[in-house]
């Protein structure tokens, strides 16, 4: 039994509208992913150009942070002089380097010639699996030190089941470090940024930091998937709603 012409016409309109909506949505999502990729590329180029600028000293870093330009300093190189404040050293747990679990060592640095203090991500140390509460041994030199590094955001956060830093009390081993809470607890005039220390292994720590990547390849991959789905919808529509409509009558006449 063949469908009535009216019902067939309504079905054709519904399928056509659905296909047009599907093509429009998937094409729009593909273009959006390409736009995100372009934004990431532009940001990556900005970071690269910043890294090529002359290194900042502590006074310039503190001045720019006070002016609210912390974000504009991201990835700038720095050469700082100051005093370590080892009594406030924090060990961020569950951090990996070269696939091994351990701690990121975070120590505040009192910048020379200023009242400002900056958190320095000094390096990575392995975990003691026999005693998870044991703090690794690291060397923290006394007196004025020179630190070479790059400006970064405060240490990234990992998911945690507890209520955050407040649930960990004054423990030196923490899952995360909230900058505002740490500033309030220590009463230190911390900058709204951190510094990732660069260089080879020293003072009991490794510094094989991962390369900063914008993740633009991910957006290209998503765009390819959306455009592929868009093309598939269009191809299926053309085949079932146009090509087969012409093939079927010819077959029926030939039979």
Q: What are all long-range contacts of 54-61, with beta carbons under 8 Å and residues at least 24 apart?
A: 55/79, 55/148, 56/151, 57/81, 58/82, 58/111, 58/112, 58/113, 58/114, 58/116, 58/118, 59/111, 59/113, 59/114, 61/111, 61/116, 61/118, 61/151, 61/191
**Contacts of 218 by beta carbon, 8 Å cutoff, 6+ apart:** none
**Distance between CA atoms of residues 173 and 112, nearest Å:** 28
**Contacts of 234 by beta carbon, 8 Å cutoff, 6+ apart:** 19, 23
Question: Global pTM?
Answer: 0.73
State which fold the 55-197 domain adopts: OB fold (Dihydrolipoamide Acetyltransferase, E2P) (2.40.50)
Share of the chain above pLDDT 90, in %: 55
How is the chain split into domains, by residue range?
Answer: 5-46+216-254, 55-197
Q: What is the pLDDT of residue 226?
A: 95
Q: Which of 133-137, 161-165, 202-206, 236-240 shows the lowest mean pLDDT across its residues?
A: 161-165
**Contacts of 173 by beta carbon, 8 Å cutoff, 6+ apart:** 90, 91, 93, 103, 133, 135
Distance of CA 34 to the CA centre of its chain: 18
**Distance between CA atoms of residues 140 and 203, nearest Å:** 7
Cα Rg of the chain (Å, integer): 29
**Contacts of 22 by beta carbon, 8 Å cutoff, 6+ apart:** 230, 233
Confidence of residue 141 (pLDDT cuts 50, 70, 90): very high
Does 126 have pLDDT greater than 80?
yes
Q: What is the mean pLDDT of the chain?
A: 86
Closest CA to 53 of 67, 41, 38, 64: 64
pLDDT tens readout for residues 21-60:
999 999 999 999 999 999 988 888 888 888 888 999 999 9
Does 220 have pLDDT greater than 60?
yes
Does 2 have pLDDT greater than 80?
no
Higher pLDDT, 202 or 213: 202
Q: What is the pLDDT of residue 164?
A: 46
Taking residue 221's Cβ as centre, other Cβ atoms within 10 Å add up to: 12
Return the ∠ at Cα 102 (arms to 98 and 140), rounded to 5°.
Answer: 105
Closest CA to 136 of 170, 85, 102: 102
Does 251 have pLDDT greater than 80?
no
End-to-end CA, the chain: 17
Q: What is the pLDDT of residue 148?
A: 96
Q: What value does the mean pLDDT take over residues 63-76?
A: 85
Q: What is the pLDDT of residue 165?
A: 44
């Amino acid at each position: 039994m063949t469908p009535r012409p009216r019902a067939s016409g309504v079905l054709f309109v519904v399928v056509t509208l659905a296909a047009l909506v599907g093509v429009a949505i998937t094409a729009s999502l593909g273009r959006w992913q390409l736009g995100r990729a372009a934004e990431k590329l532009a940001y990556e180029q900005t970071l690269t150009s910043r890294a090529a600028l002359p290194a900042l000293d502590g006074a310039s870093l503190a001045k720019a942070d006070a002016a609210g330009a912390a974000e504009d300093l991201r990835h700038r190189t720095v050469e700082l002089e100051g005093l370590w404040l080892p009594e406030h050293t924090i060990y961020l747990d569950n951090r990996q380097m070269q696939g091994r679990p351990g701690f990121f060592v975070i120590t505040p640095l009192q910048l020379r010639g200023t009242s400002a203090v900056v958190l320095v991500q000094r390096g990575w140390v392995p975990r003691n699996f026999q005693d998870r509460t044991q703090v690794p041994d690291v060397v923290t030199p006394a007196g004025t030190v020179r630190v070479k590094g790059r400006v970064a955001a405060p240490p990234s956060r990992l998911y945690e089941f507890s209520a955050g830093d407040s649930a960990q009390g004054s423990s030196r081993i923490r899952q995360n470090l909230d900058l505002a809470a740490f500033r309030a607890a220590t009463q230190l005039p911390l900058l709204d940024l951190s510094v990732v220390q660069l260089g080879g292994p020293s003072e009991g720590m490794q510094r094989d930091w991962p390369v900063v990547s914008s993740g633009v390849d991910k957006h290209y991959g998503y765009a390819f998937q959306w455009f592929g789905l868009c093309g598939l919808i269009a191809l299926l529509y053309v085949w079932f709603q146009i090509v087969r409509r012409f093939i079927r009558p010819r077959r029926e006449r030939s039979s």
